[in-house]
């Protein structure tokens, strides 16, 4: 969410919940610091999601915990909206995404069977509880300590002793 989009969201939220404007004005002399902090929390969220969550809160489809308890401190608004937005798009942990991708053969380099086979073998090693050290040992065996590997984008790269690659496009 950009700053302009945040301002659009806040205008919408304040129209739905007018009391928030008084809270912001009272929180600091201009209210700018409070809104700056709120923007920091919501910047990673999508405007459409934040607007949708605001509508659901306004329509009573989702609870507003602090108001339901009679506590009129609006300081948790951005965290609550951000959490609700995050719930709209659940993401599996990074390691799980890699496992799922390897089993579905998503992203496998089909044009270079040796790289594709090595990637499959690396994922098998990790899936069976192996470590990255085990994967490094396998790739050293397959490609050699200073072997040539065709990169996915078509340039040729040389494997360095430190495990990195140096390529033509550096």
For residue 9, the model assigns a pLDDT of 93
For residue 23, the model assigns a pLDDT of 86
For residue 148, the model assigns a pLDDT of 40
For residue 161, the model assigns a pLDDT of 47
Rounded to 5°, angle at Cα 33 from 28 and 37: 125
CA–CA gap between residue 137 and residue 7 (Å, rounded)? 53
For residue 35, the model assigns a pLDDT of 92
For residue 154, the model assigns a pLDDT of 39
Kindly give the residue spans of alpha helices, DSSP state H, lying in the chain.
3-16, 19-27, 32-42, 47-59, 65-68, 77-88, 94-103, 113-127, 132-143
For residue 57, the model assigns a pLDDT of 87
For residue 75, the model assigns a pLDDT of 82
For residue 91, the model assigns a pLDDT of 63
User: What is the average pLDDT across 134-147?
Assistant: 72
Q: Say whether pLDDT at 16 is over 80.
A: yes
DSSP 3-state assignment of 156?
Answer: strand
Cβ within 8 Å of residue 24, ≥6 positions away? 31, 34, 35, 74
104 or 150: which carries more pLDDT confidence? 104
Q: Say whether pLDDT at 113 is over 60.
A: no
The per-residue pLDDT of the chain, averaged, comes to: 74
How confident is residue 7, by pLDDT bands cut at 50, 70 and 90?
very high
CA–CA gap between residue 2 and residue 43 (Å, rounded)? 6
109 or 37: which carries more pLDDT confidence? 37
User: What is the average pLDDT across 35-64?
Assistant: 89
150 or 73: which carries more pLDDT confidence? 73
Provide the percentage of residues in the chain whose pLDDT is more than 90.
18
Long-range contacts of 7-13 (CB under 8 A, 24+ apart): 8/47, 9/42, 9/47, 9/50, 9/51, 9/54, 10/35, 10/38, 12/51, 12/54, 13/54, 13/77, 13/81
């Amino acid at each position: 969410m950009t700053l302009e989009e945040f301002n659009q969201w806040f205008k919408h939220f304040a129209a739905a919940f007018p009391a928030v404007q008084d809270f912001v004005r009272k929180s600091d002399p201009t209210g700018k610091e409070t809104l700056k902090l709120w923007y920091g929390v919501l910047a990673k969220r999508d405007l459409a999601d934040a607007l949708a969550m605001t509508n659901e809160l306004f329509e009573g489809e989702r609870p507003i915990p602090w108001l339901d308890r009679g506590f009129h401190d609006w300081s948790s608004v951005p965290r609550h909206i951000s959490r609700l937005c995050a719930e709209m798009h659940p993401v599996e942990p990074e390691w799980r995404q890699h496992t799922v991708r390897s089993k579905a053969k998503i992203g496998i380099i089909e044009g270079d069977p040796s790289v594709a086979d090595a990637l499959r073998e690396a994922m098998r090693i990790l899936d069976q509880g192996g470590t990255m050290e085990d994967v490094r040992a396998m790739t050293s065996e397959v490609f050699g300590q200073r072997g040539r590997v065709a990169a996915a984008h078509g340039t040729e790269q040389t494997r360095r002793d430190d495990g990195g690659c140096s390529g033509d496009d550096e």
